[in-house]
Structure formats: structure tokens, C-alpha cells
Amino acid sequence: MIRPTHGMVLAAGLGTRMRPLTEAAPKPLLALRGRSLLDHALDRLADSGMREVVVNAHHLAPQIVAACEGRTEPRCQVVVEPELLETGGGIRNALPLLGPAPFAVVNGDAYWLDGPVPALRRLAAAFDEERMDGLLLMARSATVEGEVGLGDFLLDPLGRLRRPKEREIAPYIYAGVQILHPRLLDGTQAGRFGLMGPWMRAIEAGRLYGLVHDGAWFHLSTPPDLQRAEEILDKGLVKLF
């Protein structure tokens, strides 16, 4: 069990599949239930005890900066990336601000409803620094609205993750919420790279784990996804804990 005080929201992406909405605003600033996806993510981090949050920005970065200026809970520091660094490069670039302890990372377009215990608190309670370099929140593919392909991961009985083999259907998809130890990025170089490489090295070492989400999770990739999520939430078609 850990008590992380630092987190990061990944908000630098181009949001190409969400066009034309993202031609005028970054994807994390699109609204759902009257608040931006970024504010929803920051609210969850603050509610789970994190007081210092890094937000990276690239596409329409001044809008992200302006959106974060008024936040005090949590305190936000925006890191503008002149060149897009992708997920791994963006997190590595922010490590000096995130500190030496495990920290939370939330995708800027992640939206979920918690079960009886908030997902971020469940992740913190389950994180074991001795055994884990990363603990990812998993959503069951069968419960997700929208196209999720063949899934992202499989879990063994101990909760360790592995990627699906060719033509293998995986029952879980990554929900865009995780806790990472900084050592996950040991050996990486500054610059642009995704997180799959570090994840795969952790899988090979038996140090990447998953925790299955016990609430609702929404796949927000396209404008119809966003509209469908709004309709489901407005009609109360999911249980709110």
C-alpha cells in the first residue's frame, strides 16, 4: 500500500479521432456532464489525496494552461511540449516534477465512475513497491461501450499482465489510469516514445500488474462516443455509487 501525493494527467495528444471537435479545443477540454474531461480527471486525483499534479500540453497548449490556472486542488503545473513526446516521453520529461516515489497517471480523456472505493484509492492500496513497477486499471472488454478491438491485456492468477498473442482475444483493456514507479522508465532516453516499450520490459520482468475496475468506464474516442456517454449518464443507465 502506498499514499501517492503526486500525479500526472496526459493532455498533450492531438485527438485526431475526435475531430472536428478537437480542431477548436484539446480533447481533454471537451465537456461531459457540464465539466471538461480534464477537470474530471483532476477532481479524481484531488479526491484521492494527490496535491501536486503535472499536466502536459502540446495541441492548443494555451487552452490547457488557461484551464489549469484556476485550480488549487490539486495544484497544477503545466509542462508545454514544443514537440509531441507521446506517453512515455511525456512522463519521462515530467519525472523531475513527479519525484522519486510512485505516482498516478491519468489519460486526459479517461472518464469513469467509481465502485464502492474510488479506483485511484484501490490502485494505491494494491500497489506493492517491492513487486511492481506499474499497476494498471483494467476494464472488462465485454462491458465497454464502443469498439475496443481484440483487447489489450490478459491477467494471470496473481494479477500480472501479459499482452495477447496473435489472434488471441484479451478480456481486458487499459482504462487510462495507472500508478507507476519512476524506475519503470530506467534506461529510456529523452525524446519521443510510447509507454508500450517500458510496459513490455516490465512484463518480461514480471513487474507489470493489473487491477480490474469495479465501476463503469467509458471509451471516448470519437464524437459519437462522447454523445453516447452523455446520453447514458443523463438517462441513469449505469449505477452511480
Mean pLDDT, all residues of the chain? 92
Q: Is the residue at 241 inside a domain? A: no
Backbone angles phi, psi at 129, to 5 degrees: -60, -30
- List the domain range (segments joined by +) for residue 212: 6-234
Structural domain includes residue 131: yes
Instruction: Report how far residue 193's alpha carbon sits from residue 91's, in angstroms, rounded to the nearest whole number.
Output: 10
Q: Do the domain assignments include residue 130?
A: yes
With pLDDT > 90 as the criterion, what percentage of the chain qualifies?
A: 80
Q: Is the pLDDT of residue 177 over 60?
A: yes
Cis geometry, peptide bond prior to residue 20 (ω within 30 degrees of 0)? yes
Residue reference for cell 519525484: 99
Q: Is 8 exposed, middle or buried (0-12, 13-18, 19+ CB in 10 A)?
A: buried
Encode pLDDT of 108-123 as tens digits. Answer: 999 999 999 999 999 9
Count CB neighbours of 182 within 10 A: 16
- Name the residue with cell 500488474: 209
169: domain CATH number is: 3.90.550.10
Within a domain: residue 183? yes
**pLDDT for 66-105, tens place per residue?**
999 988 889 999 999 999 999 999 999 999 999 999 999 9
pLDDT of 166 reads 85
Per-residue model confidence (pLDDT) at position 219: 87
Within a domain: 35: yes
Give yes or no for a cis peptide into 96 (omega within 30° of 0): no
**Contact between residue 229 and residue 164 where contact means Cβ atoms under 8 Å apart:** no
Total number of domains constituting the chain: 1
pTM (predicted TM-score):
0.91
Give, in order, the Cα–Cα distances in Å from 151 to each of 165, 169, 170, 222.
Answer: 11, 6, 5, 18
136 assigned to some structural domain: yes
